[in-house]
Amino acid sequence: MLILYTALLYLLQPAIWLYLWIRGRKSSSYRQRLAERYGFCIGKVNPYGILLHAVSLGETVAAIPLIRELQQRYPHLPIVVTTMTPTGSKFAQHIFGTTVSHVYLPYDLPKAMKRFLNTTYPKLVIIMETELWPNMITLLHARNIPLIIANARLSERSAKGYRIFGRFMAMLLQRITLIAVQNQADSQRFLRLGVKHSQIVVTGSLKFEINVIPELLEHATRLRREWVRHTRPIWIAASTHKGEEKIVLDAHCQLLKSFPDLLLIIVPRHPERYKTICKLTQKHNLEYLVRSSKKTPSLNIQVVIEDSVGELRLLYAISDLAFVGGSLVEHGGHNPLEPAAHAIPILMGPHTFNFTEICHHLKQAHGLMSITDAKSLHQEINTLLTNSNYRLHCGQQAWNVLNQHKGALKHLLNVLNPYLTKRKNHNECTTKTFSSHDN
């Protein structure tokens, strides 16, 4: 099965190149650093440390508190952060700068992955959530390098798909050192796939480990003061996907009839789409500006469109309420706890399977409202803006849910500690031995 998987992956390479070329027409970053995707990263990473993989932006955001704690607890260990998408890459570089090394994780081809491991020599590999790369898992197991899946989740739909591969999937999962799952339901699904009880630990969700730093609040206070000279309300549509911006703008047009000074901030999940959103905003006859212009929105500006990465938390902090995207289209939704950290009400569509349990807790506490279209979005926002006490109450409830479920980070760090304190020389010798054979 592994041979067939690898052969298929090799056959797909031309299609992957074509995909990167097409995406590169809108964002040149997709065509850059191609060598990294095949394991060529000499001089870009510091070896013999921790390798943490966060496939995209969402996983990178969730990994922030973990990476910062690892830096404090193990300052002698370099950290290499890998992603697969340019958005995740830009965010990692924006947050951590040169304090960590960052490269793309290579495609799961044997030679590319060997080349990568022969450069990084990781002491421990941490994969955020559930990215299962068969060749990577096999190579790490052969080299006796511990692999931990952190913040792991497994939906029933994904589990059903994995069960198709039966024994192969069970064999692969048993090569993972430890799977730190978010809850008992995830644990049971992994166990049914063949994972041993000794490989599973329930640590909770790292998504709850969000802390608003004082510097961010200070920046937000200054920005809000610049933007809001007449106490105009602000709402944000965050991490939006194609098809959602039209719904958001339709609702905004209706809201302006009751709240003529209302300001909307649109933050697309993929910033390279901002030009398309600008055209759509023009079609709605709305006045807008692009965030990178650094201009202060005057009272005649009705929409601000974000065209870069790294400011979402700042923009949540100046908003009165938030719609979280990826939920009106079948993408599964994005993290509603980021706005909850700023004690503002949250609105999401029906497609929230990426955050099922989190959304359940928020709904129960009345911190999250479900909407289905422009009409229901307009109605909910109208209610929140009309009744400030209700709006503040819903925001406080969302904040309470966030803080009531913290603790996963501390638990996970205790789980990781044995793998980072007792393997100093053994791991280096093992990887060097394999390196001579691989080359």
User: How far is Cα 245 from Cα 435, in angstroms, rounded to an integer?
Assistant: 50
Active-site residue (options: 59, 306, 338, 380): 59
User: How far is Cα 324 from Cα 352, in angstroms, rounded to an integer?
Assistant: 10
- On whether the CB atoms of residues 348 and 323 are closer than 8 A, the answer is yes
Classify 331 in phi/psi space as left (phi over 0), alpha (psi -120 to 50) or beta. alpha
User: How far is Cα 163 from Cα 409, in angstroms, rounded to an integer?
Assistant: 30
Strands across the sheet containing 346-348: 288-290, 303-305, 263-268, 234-240, 321-324, 346-348, 368-370
Q: In 329-426, at which residue ranges do the beta strands (DSSP E only) sit? A: 346-348, 368-370
- On whether the CB atoms of residues 153 and 133 are closer than 8 A, the answer is no
Q: Where do we find the tokens 């901030």? A: 265
CA dihedral sign, ordered 127, 130, 133, 137: positive
**Is 306 among the residues known to form the active site?**
no
User: How far is Cα 327 from Cα 347, in angstroms, rounded to an integer?
Assistant: 9
Kind and range of the H or E run holding 101: strand 101-104
Supply the residues annotated as catalytic: 59
